[in-house]
A and B are shown apart, each in its own frame.
Chain A
Amino acid sequence: AQSVTQLDSQVPVFEEAPVELRCNYSSSVSVYLFWYVQYPNQGLQLLLKYLSGSTLVESINGFEAEFNKSQTSFHLRKPSVHISDTAEYFCAVSWNSGYSTLTFGKGTMLLVSP
């Protein structure tokens, strides 16, 4: 079975500081990797995804994630965070299982303060 571990339940940072949200996965098959963001009282929105090819993927709002197969990791980074980045971030995997489903980690709450 596939599983996702997000090592930090909460990450507090100051505005304009860099941040890394960690994600590790366990799988016996090839997986596709996703980061979703959930703002308060909203549903999840896709931030970025890794399907194949270049191991570094970027989002339109400055986040990036690097797929590392040997370490089974897909950590999310941003060089300089804003107050508006305060949200819950979920790492997820999917795989060729017969139907498309996402397995999520427990989430990391990013708290950006001035």
Chain B
Amino acid sequence: EADIYQTPRYLVIGTGKKITLECSQTMGHDKMYWYQQDPGMELHLIHYSYGVNSTEKGDLSSESTVSRIRTEHFPLTLESARPSHTSQYLCASSDPLISGLKTDTQYFGPGTRLTVL
């Protein structure tokens, strides 16, 4: 069982509200990720971090922002939620490279199901 947590698990919110999705892990992993997943669709990487004070945008354009002030914490913020942001958001972290081979396994949190009305 992976020690990675997300809160809230479910969130229903009105358009225009600012929200922060929390993600924390207790495994000491340097790399952390945020994915967006719609029903029946593949995961899309929206943000990632190599470590403290390191954040990068992923492949899918997102209006969200992230921060990495502590190793264990990687929150995602939407300044003004819109119905198009309705989706499931998955946080993940991964363990280090092994002998230079990219076999690091990503451990996923349970996800946050966001609905914007």
Our verdict on whether A and B bind, yes or no, reads no
Which chain B residues have a beta carbon within 8 Å of chain A's beta carbons?
A: none
